[in-house]
Structure formats: C-alpha cells, structure tokens
Amino acid sequence: MRFVFILILAVLLLPVRSVAEPEKVYVGMYVVNINELDTKAGTYLGDFYVWFRWTGALSPTSFEIMNGTETTKERNYYSVTNGVKYAVYRCQSKLSRVFAFDAFPLDSHELTIEVEDGQHEIANFVYVADTLNSKVHPDLRLAGWQTGPGKCHVRLWTYPTNYGDPAQPPDYKAGYSRFVMAIPIKHEGLGVYLKAFLPLFISVAIALLALFVPPDQLEVRVGLAVAGVFGAVSSQLVVAGNLPETPTLTLSDKVHIASLSFVFLTLVVSCISFTFVSKEKLPQAARIDRFARLAIPLAYIAAIIAVSVLR
C-alpha cells in the first residue's frame, strides 16, 4: 500500500511537459516597383525588399516566391540585436496571377507577391505579418491603372499530398505558412469607359438614324442598320482582342449584346413601318416612327446605364 502511495505521489510531482509551439517569424515587405504588367497573360515583374525577424533556432532564409519565376534573391543585411535576428533580401521576380475580367473595362485586380518557407511546416514554423512596416513605394505607377496602398496578411497553405515520401502516411497533407502582399489596381472613370465604347456608341447612333428616314425608303434604312451591326461587331472584336479567353460574360460583352439588340430593333421597326406604307396606311407608319424615334434611344440609354451600374 505504501508503495502504491509513493508511486502516485511521484507521478503527480513529475514536471508537466508543455506542447511545443511553432516558432514565430515576423515577415514584412517593401515593394519598390511593379512593371511590364500584362493582364492578358497574367504576368508582371516585381522588385521588392522582404525582411525577417526571429529569435528561434529555425532559419527563415530558405523562403520561396510561390507565384514567381526567374527569381533573384540577394541578402542585403543581417544582424543580431539582443538575441533578435534580422535579415533583409532584395528580390526581383516575374510574377503571375489569374485575373478576372467580369467588370472589364471597369475592372479591378490585386497584384500579389506570395512568400513561403521552403523547409519548415506549420507545426514548427509560422509567419507573422509585419503590417505596420510593410508598404508600397509612394511613386509606384502603372500606366492606365490607379494603384492603392498595399496590404499584407498571412494564410495557411495546405498541399494535399505527401510528395511520395515513404516516411509519411498516404493521406498526409503538408501545411505551410504563407505571407501575401497584395497591391490593388483598378480602372475607373468616364474616360476609360468612353475610350472602350465610343466607337460602339457611334455605330448604334448611325443605326438609329434609320428611324428618321422616310418609311418608304427601306433600302436606306436597312443600309444604316447593317452599318451599325458591322460597327458594333468590329468594336466587339477589338475589345475581345485585349482579353484572354473567359467563360463568363464581361461588362463589355453585355454592353455589346445590348447594343446589337437595339440595332436589330431599329431594323424591325423599319420593316413594320414599310409594311404599313405598302398597304397605304401612312398615318400608322408615321405614328410608329414618331414613337420609335423617342422610345428606342431612351430605352437604349437606360439599358446601357443599367448594365454598367449593375455589373
């Protein structure tokens, strides 16, 4: 009995071993420049500094630029102050990202630079974003785009594979800490909108002129409508040439579809008016034209505004 009591007391007095927490590494970034942006190809060049602060034994210097290729890394500075290790790298990389063009030409995107450690998994090593000091150079400019302040965050990135490692179970999933710097860019303003659609609007206006031609001159009316169709289709081809293949309808697609629909409507009205004229019902034809001259342009303007605002 005494032996059992001593054994229980010994177990209770054993030191409690705490579960080891992953080492924290503070990561920050200063983006010097972004250039050669090609939204169609989804590529851009990044020039930036990235730094690390840590106190643990695991080194974060084996980092990788996960959305970059042709990356160059050069360590500019390394120091140890009161046990805190600090390293700064100057990096240049060809970066890539899939852009969404649903709102083109009033689209907005994020240019990201994604950093991940190449050796240490999340159980042993985590990033902490240095949000206070991570910034974008105030003189950074991209032709044709408005840029916003950069924002950074850290996320967990899981790979659903054990990479064929026989030491790991088949259902093993490796998790890593990933630092992401995001720079918002956008197209905005009436100038960008008109630059994209002005040829289209002129083509529709030419088609609408058919409503002011006497209803008995059907060939002239049809010729104006056909000219409007060719102009709208040409505009669609030019705009589509600046975009990659996308399965969704963009704002540009919707505006062009609406425009072609109204051009077709003017052709329908012309045929109806000519039918009344051929039956010698001139008053009815005149009323249809008077109504169409006001209703169709106003309806077209309302449709374009609705499509653009509700994109």
Options 2.30.40.10, 1.20.58.390, 2.20.25.240, 1.10.3720.10; CATH for 190-309 is 1.20.58.390
What is the CATH class of 19-186?
mainly beta
Burial of 58 (0-12, 13-18, 19+ CB in 10 A): middle
Average pLDDT over residues 273-294: 91
First vs last Cα of the chain: how many Å apart? 81
- 142/17: higher pLDDT: 142
User: Could you give the CA distance from residue 179 to residue 196 in angstroms, rounded to a whole number?
Assistant: 36
pLDDT for res 136 = 96
pTM of the model: 0.81
Three-state DSSP state, 235: helix
Burial environment of residue 309 by CB neighbours within 10 A (0 to 12, 13 to 18, 19 or more): exposed
Task: Tell me the Ramachandran region of residue 215: left when phi exceeds 0, alpha when psi lies from -120 to 50, beta otherwise.
Answer: alpha
Mean pLDDT of the chain: 89
Per-residue pLDDT, 311:
67
Contact 137/183 with Cβ under 8 angstroms? no
The number of CA neighbours under 13 Å toward the Cβ of 118 is 6
pLDDT at 20: 67
Query: How confident is the model over 176-185, as a mean pLDDT?
Result: 96
Q: Quick one: pLDDT at residue 2?
A: 54
Confidence of residue 16 (pLDDT cuts 50, 70, 90): very low
Percent of the chain with pLDDT over 70: 93
What's the CA gap between 115 and 121, in Å, rounded? 14
Q: Could you state, in order of their start, the residue ranges of all structural domains in the chain?
A: 19-186, 190-309
- 46/188: higher pLDDT: 46
Angle between helices 218-240 and 190-208 (to 10 degrees): 160
